[in-house]
Amino acid sequence: MIKFEKVSKVYPNGYKALNNVTLEIEQGEFVAIIGLSGAGKSTLLRTINRMHDITDGKLTVHDREVNNLRGKELRRFRRKIGMVFQSFNLVTRTTVIKNVLTSRVPDMPLWKAIIGLYSKADKIIALEALDKVGILDKAYIRADQLSGGQQQRVALARTLAQKPEIILADEPVAALDPVTAGQVMDDFKKINKEMNISVLINIHHVDLALKYCDRVIGIRAGEIVYDGPSKDVDHEILKEIYGRELADNEVMGE
Protein backbone atom coordinates (compact mmCIF):
# COMPACT_ATOMS: atom_id res chain seq x y z
CA MET A 1 0.00 0.00 0.00
CA ILE A 2 1.05 3.58 -0.75
CA LYS A 3 -0.26 5.98 1.85
CA PHE A 4 -0.09 9.78 1.82
CA GLU A 5 -1.08 11.45 5.09
CA LYS A 6 -1.40 15.25 4.88
CA VAL A 7 1.63 15.41 2.60
CA SER A 8 2.93 18.74 1.31
CA LYS A 9 5.90 19.57 -0.88
CA VAL A 10 7.41 23.04 -1.09
CA TYR A 11 10.36 23.63 -3.42
CA PRO A 12 13.30 25.85 -2.39
CA ASN A 13 11.92 28.74 -4.47
CA GLY A 14 8.76 28.71 -2.33
CA TYR A 15 6.51 26.99 -4.88
CA LYS A 16 4.02 24.65 -3.18
CA ALA A 17 3.64 21.66 -5.49
CA LEU A 18 1.58 19.50 -3.10
CA ASN A 19 -0.78 20.78 -0.45
CA ASN A 20 -2.06 18.53 2.33
CA VAL A 21 -2.49 15.43 0.14
CA THR A 22 -4.14 12.41 1.76
CA LEU A 23 -4.80 9.22 -0.21
CA GLU A 24 -4.21 5.47 -0.21
CA ILE A 25 -3.34 3.21 -3.14
CA GLU A 26 -3.65 -0.54 -2.72
CA GLN A 27 -1.32 -3.09 -4.25
CA GLY A 28 -2.37 -4.03 -7.79
CA GLU A 29 -4.31 -0.85 -8.61
CA PHE A 30 -4.02 0.86 -12.01
CA VAL A 31 -4.24 4.58 -11.30
CA ALA A 32 -4.17 7.61 -13.59
CA ILE A 33 -3.13 11.00 -12.25
CA ILE A 34 -4.56 13.83 -14.32
CA GLY A 35 -4.51 17.62 -14.17
CA LEU A 36 -3.08 20.75 -15.73
CA SER A 37 0.64 21.21 -16.33
CA GLY A 38 2.20 22.34 -13.07
CA ALA A 39 -0.65 20.93 -10.98
CA GLY A 40 1.69 18.63 -9.05
CA LYS A 41 1.25 15.34 -10.94
CA SER A 42 4.95 14.61 -11.46
CA THR A 43 5.81 15.72 -7.94
CA LEU A 44 3.22 13.34 -6.53
CA LEU A 45 4.76 10.44 -8.42
CA ARG A 46 8.34 11.32 -7.58
CA THR A 47 7.77 11.52 -3.85
CA ILE A 48 6.83 7.82 -3.89
CA ASN A 49 10.34 6.67 -4.85
CA ARG A 50 11.86 9.68 -3.10
CA MET A 51 13.21 11.40 -6.15
CA HIS A 52 11.69 14.36 -4.27
CA ASP A 53 11.52 14.61 -0.49
CA ILE A 54 8.25 15.69 1.06
CA THR A 55 8.19 18.82 3.21
CA ASP A 56 5.38 17.96 5.62
CA GLY A 57 3.19 14.99 6.44
CA LYS A 58 3.87 11.27 6.25
CA LEU A 59 4.37 9.01 3.22
CA THR A 60 4.59 5.25 3.65
CA VAL A 61 5.06 2.52 1.04
CA HIS A 62 4.39 -1.02 2.25
CA ASP A 63 4.47 0.29 5.83
CA ARG A 64 7.91 1.88 5.41
CA GLU A 65 8.15 5.62 6.02
CA VAL A 66 9.89 6.83 2.87
CA ASN A 67 11.60 9.92 4.28
CA ASN A 68 13.29 7.85 6.99
CA LEU A 69 15.14 5.60 4.53
CA ARG A 70 18.88 6.08 4.12
CA GLY A 71 21.81 4.55 2.23
CA LYS A 72 21.51 0.87 1.32
CA GLU A 73 18.01 0.68 2.74
CA LEU A 74 16.87 3.45 0.39
CA ARG A 75 18.58 1.81 -2.60
CA ARG A 76 16.92 -1.55 -1.85
CA PHE A 77 13.57 0.20 -1.49
CA ARG A 78 13.96 1.88 -4.89
CA ARG A 79 14.72 -1.44 -6.55
CA LYS A 80 11.09 -2.40 -5.94
CA ILE A 81 9.78 0.73 -7.65
CA GLY A 82 10.22 1.00 -11.42
CA MET A 83 10.12 4.34 -13.23
CA VAL A 84 9.18 4.99 -16.86
CA PHE A 85 9.69 8.46 -18.32
CA GLN A 86 8.38 10.34 -21.36
CA SER A 87 11.88 10.26 -22.86
CA PHE A 88 12.89 6.64 -23.25
CA ASN A 89 16.39 7.12 -21.74
CA LEU A 90 17.92 4.34 -23.81
CA VAL A 91 21.49 3.88 -24.94
CA THR A 92 20.48 3.95 -28.59
CA ARG A 93 23.81 2.78 -30.02
CA THR A 94 23.63 -0.59 -28.28
CA THR A 95 21.23 -3.52 -28.47
CA VAL A 96 17.79 -3.74 -26.96
CA ILE A 97 18.74 -6.57 -24.59
CA LYS A 98 21.75 -4.66 -23.28
CA ASN A 99 19.47 -1.73 -22.50
CA VAL A 100 17.15 -4.02 -20.54
CA LEU A 101 20.07 -5.68 -18.75
CA THR A 102 21.20 -2.35 -17.31
CA SER A 103 18.40 -2.68 -14.76
CA ARG A 104 20.14 -5.79 -13.38
CA VAL A 105 23.39 -3.92 -12.63
CA PRO A 106 22.53 -2.91 -9.02
CA ASP A 107 22.18 -6.60 -8.13
CA MET A 108 25.58 -7.56 -9.61
CA PRO A 109 29.10 -7.56 -8.14
CA LEU A 110 30.90 -4.36 -9.14
CA TRP A 111 33.55 -6.06 -11.27
CA LYS A 112 30.91 -7.89 -13.32
CA ALA A 113 28.93 -4.67 -13.79
CA ILE A 114 32.04 -2.83 -15.04
CA ILE A 115 32.73 -5.36 -17.80
CA GLY A 116 29.06 -6.14 -18.51
CA LEU A 117 29.32 -9.79 -17.51
CA TYR A 118 25.67 -10.72 -17.08
CA SER A 119 24.60 -14.11 -15.79
CA LYS A 120 22.42 -16.54 -17.72
CA ALA A 121 19.66 -15.88 -15.17
CA ASP A 122 19.84 -12.13 -15.82
CA LYS A 123 19.62 -12.69 -19.57
CA ILE A 124 16.56 -14.89 -19.11
CA ILE A 125 14.92 -12.20 -16.97
CA ALA A 126 15.63 -9.60 -19.68
CA LEU A 127 14.26 -11.80 -22.46
CA GLU A 128 11.14 -12.60 -20.46
CA ALA A 129 10.57 -8.88 -19.89
CA LEU A 130 10.87 -8.19 -23.62
CA ASP A 131 8.42 -11.02 -24.31
CA LYS A 132 5.93 -9.45 -21.88
CA VAL A 133 5.84 -6.26 -23.96
CA GLY A 134 5.77 -8.07 -27.30
CA ILE A 135 9.21 -7.22 -28.69
CA LEU A 136 11.25 -10.34 -27.95
CA ASP A 137 12.13 -10.49 -31.65
CA LYS A 138 13.92 -7.12 -31.31
CA ALA A 139 16.30 -8.26 -28.54
CA TYR A 140 19.49 -8.12 -30.59
CA ILE A 141 18.64 -5.09 -32.72
CA ARG A 142 20.16 -1.70 -31.93
CA ALA A 143 17.74 0.52 -30.04
CA ASP A 144 18.08 3.38 -32.54
CA GLN A 145 16.52 1.16 -35.22
CA LEU A 146 13.22 0.98 -33.34
CA SER A 147 10.16 3.22 -33.55
CA GLY A 148 9.24 5.51 -30.68
CA GLY A 149 6.60 3.09 -29.43
CA GLN A 150 9.04 0.19 -29.54
CA GLN A 151 11.63 2.23 -27.66
CA GLN A 152 9.09 2.97 -24.93
CA ARG A 153 8.38 -0.75 -24.73
CA VAL A 154 12.10 -1.37 -24.23
CA ALA A 155 12.03 1.17 -21.39
CA LEU A 156 9.07 -0.67 -19.88
CA ALA A 157 10.84 -4.03 -20.25
CA ARG A 158 13.90 -2.55 -18.54
CA THR A 159 11.69 -1.57 -15.63
CA LEU A 160 10.08 -5.03 -15.52
CA ALA A 161 13.52 -6.63 -15.31
CA GLN A 162 13.94 -4.94 -11.92
CA LYS A 163 11.15 -7.21 -10.63
CA PRO A 164 9.23 -4.19 -9.26
CA GLU A 165 6.15 -4.18 -7.05
CA ILE A 166 5.19 -0.68 -8.23
CA ILE A 167 5.68 1.08 -11.58
CA LEU A 168 5.55 4.87 -11.78
CA ALA A 169 5.10 6.27 -15.29
CA ASP A 170 5.57 9.99 -15.93
CA GLU A 171 3.81 10.93 -19.19
CA PRO A 172 4.92 7.66 -20.86
CA VAL A 173 2.82 8.13 -24.02
CA ALA A 174 3.05 11.91 -24.46
CA ALA A 175 5.54 11.63 -27.35
CA LEU A 176 3.63 8.89 -29.18
CA ASP A 177 0.91 8.98 -31.84
CA PRO A 178 -2.59 7.91 -30.72
CA VAL A 179 -2.41 4.35 -32.10
CA THR A 180 1.01 3.66 -30.59
CA ALA A 181 -0.01 5.29 -27.30
CA GLY A 182 -2.92 2.85 -27.08
CA GLN A 183 -0.59 -0.09 -27.71
CA VAL A 184 1.75 1.01 -24.92
CA MET A 185 -1.20 1.50 -22.58
CA ASP A 186 -2.29 -2.05 -23.47
CA ASP A 187 1.12 -3.22 -22.22
CA PHE A 188 0.73 -1.36 -18.94
CA LYS A 189 -2.75 -2.84 -18.48
CA LYS A 190 -1.52 -6.36 -19.19
CA ILE A 191 1.37 -6.04 -16.75
CA ASN A 192 -0.91 -4.61 -14.08
CA LYS A 193 -3.50 -7.36 -14.35
CA GLU A 194 -1.26 -10.37 -14.97
CA MET A 195 1.54 -9.52 -12.54
CA ASN A 196 -0.41 -7.61 -9.84
CA ILE A 197 2.03 -4.70 -10.13
CA SER A 198 0.67 -1.35 -8.98
CA VAL A 199 0.83 1.12 -11.88
CA LEU A 200 0.54 4.87 -11.37
CA ILE A 201 0.53 6.93 -14.55
CA ASN A 202 0.78 10.69 -14.81
CA ILE A 203 -1.02 11.20 -18.11
CA HIS A 204 -2.16 14.15 -20.20
CA HIS A 205 -4.60 12.20 -22.38
CA VAL A 206 -7.83 12.01 -20.40
CA ASP A 207 -9.43 9.65 -22.91
CA LEU A 208 -6.65 7.10 -22.34
CA ALA A 209 -6.85 7.52 -18.58
CA LEU A 210 -10.58 6.78 -18.62
CA LYS A 211 -10.26 3.86 -21.02
CA TYR A 212 -7.39 1.98 -19.40
CA CYS A 213 -7.17 2.92 -15.72
CA ASP A 214 -9.46 1.68 -12.97
CA ARG A 215 -9.06 4.76 -10.79
CA VAL A 216 -8.46 8.42 -11.50
CA ILE A 217 -6.85 10.98 -9.20
CA GLY A 218 -7.45 14.55 -10.30
CA ILE A 219 -5.06 17.16 -8.97
CA ARG A 220 -5.29 20.93 -9.22
CA ALA A 221 -2.83 23.43 -7.71
CA GLY A 222 -1.32 20.70 -5.57
CA GLU A 223 -4.61 19.49 -4.09
CA ILE A 224 -6.63 16.36 -4.79
CA VAL A 225 -9.97 17.47 -6.25
CA TYR A 226 -11.16 14.04 -7.42
CA ASP A 227 -10.32 10.48 -6.40
CA GLY A 228 -12.55 7.69 -7.62
CA PRO A 229 -13.40 5.16 -10.32
CA SER A 230 -12.66 6.20 -13.89
CA LYS A 231 -16.19 5.22 -14.90
CA ASP A 232 -17.59 7.94 -12.65
CA VAL A 233 -15.59 10.79 -14.22
CA ASP A 234 -18.01 13.14 -15.96
CA HIS A 235 -17.92 16.64 -17.40
CA GLU A 236 -18.54 18.31 -14.04
CA ILE A 237 -15.61 16.49 -12.47
CA LEU A 238 -13.35 17.48 -15.37
CA LYS A 239 -14.34 21.10 -14.82
CA GLU A 240 -13.21 20.78 -11.21
CA ILE A 241 -9.84 19.42 -12.36
CA TYR A 242 -9.16 21.54 -15.45
CA GLY A 243 -11.48 24.53 -15.24
CA ARG A 244 -14.48 25.13 -17.46
CA GLU A 245 -12.74 26.30 -20.65
CA LEU A 246 -10.27 23.44 -20.87
CA ALA A 247 -12.88 20.85 -19.91
CA ASP A 248 -15.17 22.16 -22.66
CA ASN A 249 -12.56 22.35 -25.38
CA GLU A 250 -9.22 20.59 -24.99
CA VAL A 251 -9.99 17.79 -22.55
CA MET A 252 -13.25 16.66 -24.12
CA GLY A 253 -11.90 17.11 -27.63
CA GLU A 254 -14.64 19.44 -28.74
Q: What percent of the chain has pLDDT over 70?
A: 93
- pLDDT at residue 88, rounded to an integer: 84
Q: How sure is the predictor about 101, in pLDDT bands with cuts at 50, 70 and 90? A: very high
- pLDDT at residue 254, rounded to an integer: 39
Residue type, 52: H
Dihedrals phi, psi of 219, to nearest 5 degrees: -125, 135
Q: Tell which wins on pLDDT, 174 or 111.
A: 174
**Mean pLDDT computed over every residue of the chain:** 91
With a cut of 90, say whether residue 10 has pLDDT above it. Answer: yes
Q: SS3 sequence, 37-59?
A: CCCCHHHHHHHHCCCCCCCEEEE
Q: Considering only 89-98, 131-140, 245-254, which range has the smallest mean pLDDT?
A: 245-254
Q: What is the DSSP string of 121-187?
A: HHHHHHHHHHHHTT-GGGTTSBGGGS-HHHHHHHHHHHHHTT--SEEEEESTTTTS-HHHHHHHHHH
Domains and CATH numbers, the chain: 1-80+173-254 (3.40.50.300), 87-163 (no CATH)
pTM: 0.90
Contact 42, 92 (CB under 8 A): no
With a cut of 80, say whether residue 25 has pLDDT above it. Answer: yes
- pLDDT at residue 111, rounded to an integer: 63
Q: How sure is the predictor about 253, in pLDDT bands with cuts at 50, 70 and 90? A: very low
For residues 15-41, b (16+ Cβ closer than 10 Å) or e, as one string?
ebbbbebeeebeeebbbbbbbbeebbb
What does the pLDDT average to over 42-65? 95
Q: What percent of the chain has pLDDT over 90?
A: 79
CA-wise closest residue to 203 among 56, 21, 45, 26: 45
Q: From edge to edge, which strands make up the β-sheet containing 166-170?
A: 81-85, 166-170, 198-202, 30-34, 215-220, 223-229
Eight-class DSSP state of 106 = G
Burial class (CB in 10 A: 0-12, 13-18, 19+), 109: exposed
What does the pLDDT average to over 85-102? 90
What does the pLDDT average to over 209-235? 95
Residue 1 CB neighbour total at 10 angstroms? 12
Dihedrals phi, psi of 17, to nearest 5 degrees: -85, -30
What does the pLDDT average to over 143-170? 94
CA-wise closest residue to 16 among 45, 38, 46, 47: 38
Dihedrals phi, psi of 32, to nearest 5 degrees: -100, 135
Q: How sure is the predictor about 245, in pLDDT bands with cuts at 50, 70 and 90? A: low
- Beta strands 215-220 and 30-34, pairing class: parallel
